Amino acid sequence: MTAAYGRILLKLSGEALMGDDAYGINPAMLASIVAEVKSVADLGVEIGVVIGGGNIFRGVAGTATGMDRATADYMGMLATVMNAMALSDAMRQAGLNGRVQSALNIEQVVEPYIRGKAIRYLEEGKIVIFAAGTGNPFFTTDTAAALRGSEIGAEIVLKATKVDGIYTADPKQDPLATRFARISFDEAIGRDLKVLDSTAFALCRDQKLPINVFSIFKPGALKRIVMGEDEGTLVHV
Residue 11 annotated as binding?
Answer: yes
Q: Is 125 annotated as a binding residue?
A: no
> Tens of pLDDT along 130-148?
999 999 999 999 999 999 9
Confirm whether 140 is domain-assigned: yes
What's the one-letter identity of residue 12? L
**97-113 pLDDT, tens per residue?**
999 999 999 999 999 99
Q: What pLDDT, on a 0 to 100 scale, did the predictor assign at position 99?
A: 98
pLDDT at 190: 87
In a domain, 55, yes or no: yes
Residue 59 pLDDT: 44
More confident site: 21 or 235 = 235
| CA 213 to chain CA mean position, Å | 10
Query: 180 a known binding residue?
Result: no
Is the Cβ–Cβ distance between 87 and 27 less than 8 Å?
no
Domain of residue 206: give its range: 7-236
CATH code assigned at 228: 3.40.1160.10
Task: For residues 27-48, give the mean pLDDT.
Answer: 97
| Residue 44 placed within a domain | yes
Indicate whether 73 belongs to any domain.
yes
Q: Is 53 labeled as ligand-binding?
A: yes
pLDDT digits (tens, 9 = 90+) for 171-227: 888 888 899 999 999 998 888 887 888 899 999 999 999 999 999 999 999 999 999
Phi and psi at residue 114, to the nearest 5°? -130, 115
**Domains in the chain: how many in total?**
1
Residue 128 in domain: yes
15-50 in b/e form (b: 16+ CB < 10 A) is: bbbbbeeeeebbeebbebbbebbbbbbeeebbbbbb
Residue 67: the pLDDT is 81
In a domain, 154, yes or no: yes
- Note the pLDDT of residue 2: 84
Residue 66, marked binder: no
- What does residue 131 show for φ and ψ, rounded to 5 degrees? -110, 165
pTM for the model stands at: 0.94
Residue-wise pLDDT for 40-85, tens only, equals 999 999 999 999 998 886 544 545 567 888 988 999 999 999 999 9
Q: Between the CA atoms of 191, 153, 7 and 36, what dihedral angle is there, to the nearest 10 degrees?
A: -60
Does 43 show up as a binding residue in the annotation? no
On whether residue 2 sits in a domain, the answer given is no
- Is there a binding annotation on residue 185? no
In the prediction, which pLDDT does 204 show?
Answer: 96
**Was 134 annotated as part of a binding site?**
yes
Helix (H, G, I), strand (E, B) or coil at 130: strand
Q: Is residue 1 part of a domain?
A: no
Say whether 167 counts as a known binding-site residue.
yes
Tell me the pLDDT band of 165, cut-offs 50, 70 and 90: very high
Residue 197, marked binder: no
